[in-house]
Amino acid sequence: MNRPRSSAPATYVLIHGAAADSWCWHLLAAELRDRGHDVVAVDLPCSDESAGLAEYADEVVRAIGDRDNLVVVPHSFGGFTAPLVCDRVPVKLLVMLQAMIPLPGEAPGEWWAASGYDRARREQDARDGRAEEDLVALFVHDLPPQLAAEALGRQKAQASTPFTQPWPLPAWPDVPTTFLLSSGDRFFPADFMRRLVRERLGITPDEMVGDHLPMLGHPAELADRLEEYWRQQQQPGESPAA
């Protein structure tokens, strides 16, 4: 398949979620590099109890260095870190990938109840007849068994520190933002995420197939989406975001 190329390469800054590391991005990173883009996949200090949201953002900013044409792509809990990065470096586009959306002053540990997530998950689990402890069904049901096992086996210990800290920005950063959700995600149910994106960002999310880890299950399609967002961002009057 011949894919249209963007007029200029982007630097995709990939920010993983809780209890994870940059490995989760390896298939997507290879796709993007093969298409001529730069990729910065950051390892956050998720096991360090002394590290909070500010330290997570510090780690990303250090990894970016002097790169430009920045497209920041946070996944899941990375949604609390990415806007802090956008507030500190000149980001061209923020693409929230099935990511948590914070409000000013809201600690990540408060997000679950405040957003309505807890109720949405209980209702989704009841509809599916699924036990909460079934991690394969919850997170990686869309992956081949070997890849699913590897993904779950690479989970890290997650420190509690960042979950106790209020999100420090007074408002969403002034950067074009779009949201891409996985329609088959059972951890962040699609109906819940559609509502949350409308309420907290005021936009309608784009959607693709996949579970909670679409970067592993559908890296080529995800790379297509990211390239298209970047192409649109470079075209006057054709922004994909709010």
Burial status of residue 41 (CB atoms within 10 A of its CB: 0-12, 13-18, 19 or more):
buried
Please, what are the domains in the chain? 11-234 (3.40.50.1820)
Tell me the pLDDT band of 130, cut-offs 50, 70 and 90. low
| pTM score, whole prediction | 0.93
What pLDDT, in 10s, does the model give residues 2-34?
455 546 999 999 999 999 999 999 999 999 999
- For residue 123, what pLDDT is reported? 81
What pLDDT, in 10s, does the model give residues 35-89?
999 999 999 999 999 999 999 999 999 999 999 999 999 999 999 999 999 999 9
